Amino acid sequence: MMTLRHMPPAAGLAALAVLLASALLGTSSCSYDNEQELFAGELSSCDSVSVTYRGTIQPLLAQHCLRCHGPTRTEGGVVVTAHHDVQTLGRTGQLLGVIQHKPGYPAMPDDEPRLSDCDINKVKIWVRAGMPDN
C-alpha cells in the first residue's frame, strides 16, 4: 500500500534508480551535484551503488528469509538458497511483490517488519540490473 508516509522515499527511490541507471550507462557525471541535493535525505547513508548478489542480496536474504526458505524449511514451496532460485522469484515479480508488501502477495518477511527502504531499494536495483550472479 502506498501511504503518505511512504510517498517521499518511494519517489526518491525511483529517482535514485533512474540516476543509477544513467550512471551505469556512462552518461554525464555533471549530475553529481544534483544527486547530492536530491539524496541528502534519509537515503544518503544507503549504499546502493555497489549492489552485488554475493555482497548485498545474498546476505540480506540470509538474514531475513533463509530460515523459512532455505535448506531446512521451504515455506510456500519457496527457497532462496541458490542464485537461480532468487532469479526465478525476481522474474515472476514475486520477490519485489512480497518485500514491498504489494497487494496480491503475502507480505515478507512473514514474522518481521517490512525490510528497510534501503534494503528494498537494493533488491530493486539488482532486479533491474538483470539479477546478475556477481
Q: Is 132 in the site for ligand HEC (CB under 6 A)?
A: no
Q: Is 79 in the site for ligand HEC (CB under 6 A)?
A: no
Q: How far is the CB of 36 from ligand HEC (least distance, A)?
A: 31
The rounded distance, in Å, linking the Cα atoms of 74 and 100 is: 21
Figure out which of the listed residues 10, 15, 81, 109 binds ligand HEC, where binding follows CB under 6 A: 109
Cβ closer to ligand HEC: 35 or 110? 110
Residue 118 bridge partners (DSSP): none
Q: Is 75 in the site for ligand HEC (CB under 6 A)?
A: yes
Q: Is 120 in the site for ligand HEC (CB under 6 A)?
A: no
The rounded distance, in Å, linking the Cα atoms of 6 and 117 is: 9
Figure out which of the listed residues 46, 57, 79, 89 binds ligand HEC, where binding follows CB under 6 A: 89
Q: Is 106 in the site for ligand HEC (CB under 6 A)?
A: yes
Is the omega angle on the peptide bond into residue 59 within 30 degrees of 0, that is, cis? Answer: no
State the burial class of residue 26 (Cβ atoms within 10 Å of its Cβ: 0-12, 13-18, 19+): exposed
Q: Is 124 in the site for ligand HEC (CB under 6 A)?
A: no
Is the omega angle on the peptide bond into residue 71 within 30 degrees of 0, that is, cis? Answer: no
